[in-house]
Amino acid sequence: MQRPGALNSWTVSPRPTPDARLRLFCFPHAGGGASVFYAWPRGLPPQVEVVAVQPPGREGRLMEKPFSSMDELIDAMYPALLPLLDRPFALFGHSNGGLMAFEIARRLRRDGRTMPVHLFGSGRPAPQIALTLPPLHTLDDPDFIDALRRLNGTPEEVLANEEIMRLVLPLLRADFAIGETYRYRDEPPLDVPITAFGGATDPEVSAEQVEAWGEQTTAAFHAKTFPGDHFFILGDRDLVLREISHDLRPLLDGGRGM
């Protein structure tokens, strides 16, 4: 794998591909960063360039203040993505990232710009479904850390390290606030094929909530369940990339949709 290259302050290309036929923009989960997607090019067709989105407050942007509002995050992120939409592109987002991908697609439509050829919403209830679980970002530190442990997305050695946790807790709280304070605004469904992914043992997202993504498109839709928990994109990564490749290949061959 080539050394990742920064395209701008918001995006990283794990495998720069100047002649790519399609760009896949990947938006991370709460607490995650661009590095989650660094290995993805190895499991995708070579004509696809992965563009990993790097919000403030993590990894190479660790010293920047993280956003805690989806609207503010999209407002800041959107202009940085526009110059990279010079060829066909798809959007993938896991958990919070699924909402980011969805809201970027809707912003593009409102502005009359070129739309993605595919949208992947992963590990998140459909945007129109209000969350009913108690918010986590308001918990005190011990309870918040316990909740992170149950979600199984943060290594135990990180959770047990007080120094590291002091550093990352503000980011994690801000990221959880983004998802937990998100308010859906009613708009017509997108004319973009959507694939929704879920984990069979995800305690946060039910199969019905994943299927509900179908209400957000007038184009093709299908849902896929993977064996893992909320972070199936880590444990079931090869299966996830195989499914994404399956959906993107017709686009690479000159078609649109599945």
Question: CA–CA separation, 167 vs 57, rounded Å?
Answer: 10
Express each pLDDT in 4-31 by its tens digit.
Answer: 677 889 999 999 999 999 999 999 998 8
| Whether the Cβ atoms of residue 84 and residue 7 lie closer than 8 Å to each other | yes
For residues 20-49, average pLDDT: 95
For residues 112-140, average pLDDT: 88
Express each pLDDT in 174-228 by its tens digit.
Answer: 988 998 899 999 999 999 999 999 999 998 899 999 999 999 999 999 999 999 9
Q: What was the pLDDT predicted at 147?
A: 80
Domain annotation for the chain: domains and CATH numbers: 5-131+183-252 (3.40.50.1820)
> Known catalytic residues?
95
Q: Residue 241's closest CA among 92, 18, 125?
A: 92
86 pLDDT band (50/70/90 cuts)?
Answer: very high
